[in-house]
């Protein structure tokens, strides 16, 4: 890498066609422009943004040293109760910590707090300052490098990039392109080497989003083609379009969007569910949420609601109750040791009876000794009148 690539100036040091930075910059520009053209006014844009924000939070957390499950994050965002994996308090505590980190990563990219917005604004000022001379892509790379050199953290600059791409009209949608893999372990931090790495990371992210959008569109078109809409006024295809556009959809909301009854919406959803076009993610019989195929991992991490056992009354059931789990009874009985019958204890009271007999004999002798005169042998009485 020549010294000119370290501090790029378009007036004094133009980039040659054989330069590594030039190739990476061109690849990133073409990939991002192609993605922007495809997603502009896309009918499934809400669902695409939902999935890509989850994926960006996962990648950013992974580069920062945290392993998170994006589907647990999706369950939290949608107000569902995720399962709590782990066998002890330490495992569950680690899961809670990772969930908190995942939510913070998502906030930086999609819903920053007031405190986060202040840090994002500082990073945005640096982005605009660097981009004024060399353009948005190269300016963003140089700004990110200077931001980290100044001792700042990565999340504020990542959040600033999401808005920066739209402000510079590089992207017309709020896609989270952050170049997170440029911070992977082992990446050379020297600016001349790191700038092409950042550009290639942006290009990889754009191409990955392009491939995932293709998969979503394939599922959508397959569901529309086999939705069974045979009448000209059928709402089946429109229902498929709405389910595909929204990440999660209930029967009540679908009925409101289609202008039909809730019962009719349920009939459509049940038919789509039976034919395998959609999936139900809440494990419920009421207030159910549906999504297009591809959301099965979300169903796996959602905790099923507690359901009462049929014909079981309130309170703790008796052991002989039919609603009481026999497996639980057997498990408790097997866990306890079998009691051993000792039978009646054979206690020898002969020594005690002999001691009691000796005590009675001694008491009798003392009583006789106190009721006789020792010299005359005349019996003395307490009731006898004594005359002096």
239-272 residue pLDDT tens: 999 999 988 899 999 999 999 999 999 999 999 9
CATH at 254: 1.10.10.10
Q: Are residues 163 and 295 in the same domain?
A: no
Distances from the Cα of 18 to the Cαs of 22, 26, 54, 182, 195, in angstroms?
Answer: 7, 12, 37, 22, 16
Same domain, 169 and 239: no
- Backbone dihedral region of 105: left (phi > 0), alpha (psi from -120 to 50 degrees) or beta? alpha
Same domain, 152 and 291: no
Contact present, 98 and 68 (Cβ < 8 Å): yes
Give me the domain span that covers residue 28: 19-216
| pLDDT score, position 319 | 61
Q: Give residue 318's pLDDT.
A: 64
Picking from 267, 301, 335, the residue at the C-terminal end of a domain is 301
Q: Average the pLDDT over 187-194 and give the result.
A: 93
**Interior/surface letters 94-108, b for 16+ CB within 10 angstroms, e for the rest:** ebeebbebbbebbeb
At 104, list the tokens. Answer: 């913070």
**pLDDT(388) > 80:** no
Looking at the fold, whether 159 and 274 belong to one and the same domain comes out as no
Q: How far apart are CA 181 and CA 67, in angstroms?
A: 15
Confidence of residue 370 (pLDDT cuts 50, 70, 90): low
Residues 82-102 pLDDT 10s: 887 766 677 777 778 888 888
DSSP 181: G
Rounded to the nearest 10°, the torsion over CA 248, 250, 251, 252 is -130
Q: Say if residue 32 is in the same domain as residue 112.
A: yes
Cα separation of 61 and 98, whole Å?
9
Are 182 and 198 a contacting pair, CB within 8 Å?
A: yes
Query: In the predicted model, what is the mean pLDDT of residues 281-299?
Result: 85
Global model pTM greater than 0.75: no
Of 301, 320, 340, which residue sits at a domain end? Answer: 301
* Mean pLDDT, residues 222-249 taken together: 83
Whether the per-residue pLDDT at 3 is higher than 60: the answer is no
Instruction: Read off the pLDDT band of 310 (50, 70, 90).
Output: low
- Top pLDDT among 294 and 162 is at 162
pLDDT given for residue 99 in this prediction:
84
**Cβ proximity of 83 and 69 under 8 Å:** no
Same domain, yes or no: 203 and 258: no
User: Do 274 and 186 sit in the same domain of this protein?
Assistant: no
Q: Do 281 and 201 belong together in one domain? A: no
Residues 44 and 79 in one domain: yes
- The 10 Å Cβ neighbour count of residue 62 is 15
Q: Given 258, 280, 301, which residue is the final one in a domain? A: 301
Residue 11's pLDDT band, with cuts at 50, 70 and 90, is very low
75/120 same-domain check: yes
CB-CB neighbours of 246 under 10 Å: 20
pLDDT confidence tier of residue 2, bands split at 50, 70 and 90: very low
Structural domain count of the chain: 2
CA distances from 349 to 345, 354, 356 (A): 12, 9, 11
**291 pairs with which residues across the strands?**
279
| Alpha carbon distance 107, 122 (integer Å) | 17
Tell me: do 48 and 163 sit in the same domain.
Answer: yes
- Does the pLDDT value for residue 77 go beyond 90? no
Q: 195 with 246, same domain?
A: no
């Amino acid at each position: 890498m020549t010294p000119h690539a370290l501090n790029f100036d378009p007036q004094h040091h133009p980039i040659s066609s054989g330069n590594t930075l030039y190739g990476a910059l061109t690849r990133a520009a073409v990939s991002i422009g192609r993605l922007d053209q495809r997603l502009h006014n896309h009918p499934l844009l809400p669902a695409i943004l939902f999935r890509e924000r989850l994926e960006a939070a996962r990648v950013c957390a992974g580069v920062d040293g945290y392993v998170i499950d994006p589907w647990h994050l999706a369950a939290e965002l949608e107000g569902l109760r995720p399962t709590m994996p782990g066998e002890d308090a330490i495992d569950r505590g680690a899961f809670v910590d990772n969930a908190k980190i995942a939510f913070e990563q998502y906030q930086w990219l999609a819903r920053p707090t007031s405190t986060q917005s202040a840090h994002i604004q500082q990073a945005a000022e640096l982005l605009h300052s660097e981009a004024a001379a060399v353009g948005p892509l190269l300016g963003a790379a140089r700004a990110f490098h200077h931001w980290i050199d100044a001792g700042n953290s990565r999340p504020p600059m990542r959040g600033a990039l999401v808005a920066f791409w739209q402000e510079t009209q590089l992207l017309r949608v709020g896609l989270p392109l952050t170049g997170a893999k440029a911070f992977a372990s082992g990446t050379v931090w020297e600016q001349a080497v790191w700038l092409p790495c950042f550009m290639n990371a942006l290009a990889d992210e754009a191409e990955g989003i392009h491939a995932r959008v293709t998969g979503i569109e394939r599922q959508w078109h397959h569901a529309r083609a086999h939705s069974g809409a045979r009448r000209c006024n059928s709402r089946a295809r429109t229902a498929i379009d709405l389910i595909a556009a929204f990440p999660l959809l209930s029967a009540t909301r679908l009925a409101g969007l289609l202008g039909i009854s809730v019962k009719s919406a349920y009939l459509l959803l049940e038919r789509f569910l039976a034919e395998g076009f959609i999936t139900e993610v809440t494990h419920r019989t009421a207030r159910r949420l549906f999504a297009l195929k591809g959301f099965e991992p979300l169903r796996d991490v959602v905790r099923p609601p507690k359901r009462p056992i049929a014909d079981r009354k309130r309170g703790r059931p008796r052991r002989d109750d039919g609603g009481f789990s026999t497996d639980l009874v057997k498990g408790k009985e097997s866990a306890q040791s079998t009691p051993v019958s000792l039978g009646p204890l054979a206690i020898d009271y002969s020594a005690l009876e002999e001691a009691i007999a000796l005590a009675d004999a001694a008491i009798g002798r003392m009583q006789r000794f106190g009721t006789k005169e020792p010299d005359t042998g005349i019996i003395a009485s307490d009731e006898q009148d004594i005359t002096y």
